[in-house]
Every structure is written in structure tokens, then in C-alpha cells.
Amino acid sequence: AQKVTQAQTEISVVEKEDVTLDCVYETRDTTYYLFWYKQPPSGELVFLIRRNSFDEQNEISGRYSWNFQKSTSSFNFTITASQVVDSAVYFCALSEAGRDDKIIFGKGTRLHILP
């Protein structure tokens, strides 16, 4: 069965600090997809990244970077030089590319960036 664990329920950091959000997943499939979404107070989930299981290359997008390690079943998300606008709930999600390809979300990590 598929499962996504975001062990950090809530994190607070001071602006300009770097912060890493952890995501550990479980799946029996060899082909799967991992996602990160951001949910600001407005409620709408904003897509950040999608990664397939065959692409372990780390990705950087501005201040955001993602570290995908199949050996530890982790897909961690780092924000460099955090800003107050980064305050939100961040969700990691997993989808197996098989018959049951529903997307399963982790419980989310609430990130507070303090000015």
C-alpha cells in the first residue's frame, strides 16, 4: 500500500534561514510519481514539483530545491533564504502508475517564517 509520511507537523524559522521539509514514502511499485504542493492561507493548493521514480536528479528552482533519494524513500524539500511569503502548509504526495493510481497526500507540514 502507498503511504506518505511528513513527520514534521509544524516548523518555525526566522526569515532568511534555510529550512528543509522531510517526506518519506512507501510504495510497492517501481514506477511512481512524487509531488510537492503549497497551501497558503487562501486554501488553494499550488503545484510546486513532480518527479518520477526514474529520475533521481535533484532539482533547483530559485530558492526551492528538492532532494530525491530512492535508497531512503525520501523526497525532501529545502527552501533557501526563507521569506515570510513562504509561510504555508506544504504537502508531499505520491501516485503509483498502476491500476490504483490515486494520489495520496501526506498530512502536511505547517511552515511559519518569522520576520
Is the torsion defined by CA of 6, 15, 82, 18 positive or negative? Answer: negative
Nearest Cα to Cα of residue 50 among 33, 64, 26 = 33
Report, in Å, the least distance between residue 50 CB and another protein: 5
Stretch 25-54: interaction string toward another protein, x if CB under 8 A: -------xx-x-x----xxxxxx--x-x--
Among 82, 63, 73, 89, residue whose Cα is nearest residue 18: 82
Beta-sheet pairing, 46-52 with 59-61:
unpaired
Stretch that binds another protein, among 13-21, 58-66, 72-80, 95-103 (CB under 8 A): 95-103
Task: Pick the piece of the chain touching another protein (CB under 8 A) from 13-21, 61-69, 74-82, 96-104.
Answer: 96-104
Q: Which residues bind another protein (CB under 8 A)?
A: 32-33, 35, 37, 42-47, 50, 52, 91, 95-97, 100-108
